[in-house]
Structure 1
Amino acid sequence: MANVTFSSPIMPKDVTVYAVAGDKGTLLALARKNDIPIPCQCQDGQCGSCLVKVTPLDGSSLKGQALTEHEKVTLSVNGKLSKELLAKAEVEDIPPPYRLACQYWVQDSNILVEFSGEPGVEIDLRR
């Protein structure tokens, strides 16, 4: 069981929703179910429009979650997945901070999900 907090400059306030870990739902499906406006176009990991930054909360660490092949390519092409981050994900089981909401499975960690609201545009990390 996890709390997922969505944050975006296009939302009036952050929204925290309860997610059932292991229900095989993606982060995008959870967002849609709760009327969270994460942009998406293909829902297949190829367009990159649902780019999000995932940060663990409560001092926890994210559990490793294998990147799909589509996610590897899309994140790499968009400059969000360096060779170093990919190696950490594949060898050390350390997930990268940027993911695609349509490919990310909700697990039992409390997380903050940040998105810009513009398809494929990263959240401004200086706020």
Structure 2
Amino acid sequence: MANVTFSGPGMPRDCTVYAVAGDTSTILALAKRHEIPIPFQCQDGECGACLIKVTPLGDKKPMAVGLTEKEKLTLSVNGKLSKDALYEAETNDVPPAYRLACQYIVRDEDVLVEFSGEPGVEIDLRR
């Protein structure tokens, strides 16, 4: 079981939901099931509208969920995935901060998922 806390400006407060272990649904599917207003368009990893920032919570070592080829390309083209961050994810299992909600599958860890409420716009990192 994983706790996923969603935080975005269009929400009256943060919302924590449970993701069932072994479920292969994406963060976007989980958000839609719980009426969390993450913006999206293609739902296929090509447009970047569902850009999210994922922060692991708790004391566990963060688990890198493999980046799909579409996610690598879309995040790289949009300047959200540097070559160094890609190397760290693929070689050292260090998850990148920015992901696409339509591609990210929840693993057995608690995470904070932040989104701007505007398609493809990153959240303010100064918070």
Per the normalisation by structure 2, the TM-score is 0.97
Alignment of 1:83-98 (within 5 A): 83-98=83-98
Alignment of 1:83-122 (within 5 A): 83-122=83-122
Structure 1: distance between partners of 2:83 and 2:32: 32
Report the 3-state secondary structure (helix = DSSP H, G, I; strand = E; otherwise coil) of the residue aligned with 2:53: strand
Deviation of residue 58 (structure 1)? Answer: 1.6
Q: C-alpha distance in 1, partners of 2:61/2:51?
A: 20
- What residue in structure 1 maps to residue 9 of structure 2? 9
**Aligned-partner SS, 1:30:** helix
Secondary structure of residue in 2 paired with 1:107 = coil
Residue 39 in structure 1 maps to residue 39 in structure 2: yes
Which SS does the other structure have where 1:17 is aligned? strand
The aligned amino acid for 1:122 is E
Deviating more after overlay: 113-122 vs 19-28: 19-28
3-state SS of paired residue (1:70)? helix
SS at match of 2:72: helix
Query: How far is 1:59 from its partner?
Result: 2.7
The match for 2:30 is 30
- The whole-number CA distance in structure 1 between the counterparts of 2:113 and 2:61 is 14
Structure 1, unpaired ranges of 5+: none
Aligned CA RMSD, in angstroms, stands at 0.8
Scaled by the length of structure 1, the TM-score of the pair is: 0.97
* Number of equivalenced pairs: 127
Match of 2:56?
A: 56
Letter in 2 for 1:9: P
Q: Residue 18 of structure 1: SS of its match in structure 2?
A: strand
Instruction: Indicate the SS of the match to 1:87.
Output: helix
State the one-letter code of the partner of 2:82.
S
Q: Which runs of 5+ in 2 are unaligned?
A: none
The answer on whether the counterparts of 2:64 and 2:94 sit within 8 Å (CA) in structure 1 is yes
